[in-house]
Amino acid sequence: MRIVFLGTAASTSTANARLQSIFLQHDDGSAALFDAGEDVQRAFEDAKIKLNKPLAIFITHMHGDHVIGLPGLLFRFGSSNRTQDVEIYGPRGLFFYLLAHRLTVGLVTGYAIRVTEIDLVARELCSYPALDESFTLENIESRIVKNKIVNRVIKRAMNFQIEALEADHTTPQGFTFIFQELPRPGKFNPERAISLKIPRGRAWGLMQEGNVITLKDGRIIDPLKEGIVGGPRRGRIVILSGDTRPTETLLKYIKEHEVDLLVHEATFTSDLHELAVDRKHTTVEEACNLAKEGMVHMLALTHFSIRYIDNLNEIEKRANEIFKGTIIARDNLVIDLKN
């Protein structure tokens, strides 16, 4: 699993830091983008992210520095002849934000844009008609599909699910997203398979998925019993905060789960704690204490105020005094989470 920090600045971009955007590539080839800061389409190209691959986009809240790059990215997909649909999840108002771009500046693409708005208060997902070449405004309200949110899950995929926790920010509703991988088969032992004279190819693939196979010579091979595949492994968990104050909800979650990576905003340092409280952001020290108390495996800080963005060494020093090994995210940083 690969996490790429496409943008790490808060509110204002600089020559060295774009606005907030984080790309996650799963081992199965699927991908997710969390927030879409200004010029995210160029960040895609700099990171050599392909423009016609399966993608779901998750917007933490409707502040410009987190969503202003979304129309540009969708336009860029269109100009590159993308054919894959794009799913977009976010707060109330997201659909009409994109609809306004369609009606005013011609956001019409050769692929479908499928918007689902998240309402944690009503515990409801509202999926709007696809914005595609055939879209019309006729009876739009009657074409919205509503589904209840169960156990915080807003999207289910074959190998993972995305959950949403409520953030504490200045917008009507904002989210912290949780990427939770489903339990995985154990590690494959090729030497053991070779020693049992199991031919390479489809048989190996089936065993890697934990399946019992029957060979042409009649042998029935249970990969777990034969030591070809280890026991099931827990799914990895990555948490990506939006703009938020530290919340008891998030602390409770990370205490109850084994979190592999916590990506948390750290807009200010403790010197500006009152400003952080007023603007509903988190300080570097607060984010590190949250990770320490929750015993996460790894912490990456991002979303830095412009006053720090060109001098992050001091931030790194402060952070590591509290939570050793804290990563200070800079644009184009890549974190690989091993299997």
- Token pair belonging to 81: 């002849």
Pairing of strands 261-265, 299-302: parallel
- Token pair belonging to 293: 């108390």
Q: Would you call 280 exposed, middle or buried from its count of C-beta atoms within 10 A (0-12, 13-18, 19+)?
A: middle
Q: Which of 189, 215, 192 is nearest to 202 (CA)?
A: 215
Location of structure tokens 């940083």: 333
Catalytic residues: 65
Pure H helices in the chain: 40-46, 64-67, 70-79, 94-105, 190-195, 202-208, 248-256, 273-279, 284-294, 313-322
Please tell me the number of Cα atoms within 13 Å of 20 on its side-chain side: 29
